[in-house]
Amino acid sequence: MSRIGRFLSRSRTEKRLFFGSVLLVPIVRIGLAVLGFQRMRRWLDKRSGADAAGSDATPEIVEWAVQSVAKRTLYDKPCLTQSLVVSHHLRRAGYDPVIRFGVRKSGEALDAHAWVELNGEVVSGGRRAPEIYTPLTSLDELTL
């Protein structure tokens, strides 16, 4: 089956989340660059109320939708953008996700990473992220 055929066979929820991500991923990426993290987070928080229509969205579907868009549009530092968008979609579906931050030493530099957890399990940003990166804090614990 072709890529288009596979997409068309997906559920209405999957398609809705995919097209929502098509709009939201570039908005968040540009918003982070122009507005900064705090303003972008507040902007998303205002729009993250539970959505009855999104209640059938699972973490796996959300991750698929955001990842499908992000891997084709984000070329550098995608983890924070993806984490914010995944968290936004999950909140709208009635979940309570947590964005986590971590670092690891890479030569003389530190690499930073963000991932999303739900009930203590990583749902976006790499299942092994807490093993690879030293966790610093979560977005909820961060006072900005």
Residue 105 dihedral angles phi and psi, to the nearest 5°: -80, 130
Phi-psi category of residue 126: left, alpha or beta, with phi > 0 → left and psi -120 to 50 → alpha: left
Of 16, 28, 27, the residue nearest 55 (C-alpha): 16
Q: How confident is the model at residue 56 (pLDDT cuts 50, 70, 90)?
A: confident
Query: What is the radius of gyration, based on Cα positions, of the chain?
Result: 15
Mean pLDDT to the nearest integer, 17-39: 94
Instruction: With residue 42 as reference, give the H or E element that holds it.
Output: helix 37-46
pTM, 2 dp: 0.87
Q: What's the confidence (pLDDT) of residue 141?
A: 63
65 pLDDT above the threshold of 60: yes
**CB distance 85 to 28 below 8 Å:** yes
Mean pLDDT, all residues of the chain: 88
Mean pLDDT to the nearest integer, 108-118: 93
Mean pLDDT to the nearest integer, 40-57: 78
Percent of the chain with pLDDT over 70: 88
Q: What's the confidence (pLDDT) of residue 2?
A: 85
140 pLDDT above the threshold of 80: no
